[in-house]
Structure 1
Amino acid sequence: MHDHEHMHGDGVIHSHPHSHEENHEHHSDCPGEAILKVDGVAFSYKSHSVLADIEVGVSRGEILAILGPNGVGKSTLLRCMNMILRPQKGAILVDNADLSKMSANEIAKNVGYVAQ
């Protein structure tokens, strides 16, 4: 989790993003711009909220580690990030393209997922 994310006692990951101005007209080859963006993602299993307002950006060349105790939503977040699960709120963007609007083949060309 980033310093602006925290886990409540209920096991739900909550994110509080740093405020910053965004310009979606830049391309992903701009230094520092996120090529993978998790934008306000929320997900629940029935009435059990697991992810709430998650905000993550990964720039080209960066490595993201998702760490935490069992049952807090790490795998759920990864499954949402490659559309195995569809977020109930928010968006997953790759090079500013919304994965929820892509076909399974397009997603496979843009996102790789290796489970441990």
Structure 2
Amino acid sequence: MKLLLWLALYCTLGQGFIKRVRDDNCLIHHFYPHESACHSPRRYFYTFHRIISDCVQVTTNCSRMYNTNEYYSLKECRDDCWYFMNKDIPPEPTTEKPIPVAAANDKTTDDKKAAEGDKDKKP
């Protein structure tokens, strides 16, 4: 029983580790025949786009020729190509109320009155 438990843990952790290492399959550029030469039914798949740095949907009439860089779902593509994806994540919004610029630079009314009172007093 313990052996079966260890085997299940090993397989689960191994699959999680494999998904988080750099996979160069995303960067492979395949050469397909021209669309006019393919007479298969239309199919859709996802592949990694190097310039956009994200996965995109591709439509083709050609049958599947390559095992790498063709994914059935967008999530599967993004999970496999996470290392090369765009990492520009916007910062998390804060819950603090922002201070208006005019109020931050302007003195409070008490400070103004104190400054005016000092002007009236001449030494």
TM-score bracket for this pair, using the shorter chain length: under 0.3
TM-score by length of 1: 0.21
Higher strand fraction (1 or 2): 1
Higher relative CO (CA 8 A, sep ≥ 6), structure 1 or 2? 1
Higher helix fraction (1 or 2): 2
TM-score by length of 2: 0.20
